[in-house]
Amino acid sequence: MTSRRIVLRFNAANVDEPIIYRLAKDYDLVFNILKANVSPQLEGSLVMELKGERYQEGLAYLEARGVSVQPLSQEVVRSGERCTSCGACTAVCPTGALSLSRPAMQVEFDKDECVLCQLCVAACPVRAMEVHF
């Protein structure tokens, strides 16, 4: 049984629930949290490894609680040619992966901080942000 790398995304309604505890206690899943973040707007994201016999049941529980689950095999990529450094993605990005350097006001993208929420894809007017599988 191999563990799978997934990204969970929480919203203000479920971010304060002890969801990972339930995954371990009720579904007997083994977890290893790699990265976790809660924004001031109470949007949470969590990158983790997860495994166990009742993996699918655990996923169903997550979805029922309104937690979105994505495999970490995806990657958000910025087209350097297309990006104009307008900045429209930077306050929308929940983790600060996209930010403005000051005073140059150039958009910087730190992939290590990206949790694949894909808000930047919708926020980018010139469609410079793409999801690669």
What residue ranges bind other proteins (CB under 8 A)?
A: 40-41, 84-92, 100, 102-106, 119, 122-123, 125-127
For other proteins, give the closer residue by CB, 11 or 56: 11
For other proteins, give the closer residue by CB, 72 or 86: 86
For other proteins, give the closer residue by CB, 18 or 103: 103
* Among 103, 104, 115, 131, CA closest to 43: 115
Shortest distance in whole angstroms from residue 126 CB to other proteins = 5
Instruction: Give me the helices (H) in the chain, please.
Output: 19-27, 55-64, 119-123
Cβ proximity of 9 and 117 under 8 Å = yes
Shortest distance in whole angstroms from residue 47 CB to other proteins = 22
Shortest distance in whole angstroms from residue 75 CB to other proteins = 20
CA pair distance 23, 77, nearest whole angstrom: 31
Shortest distance in whole angstroms from residue 83 CB to other proteins = 9
User: Which amino acid is located at 63 in the chain?
Assistant: E
For other proteins, give the closer residue by CB, 45 or 90: 90
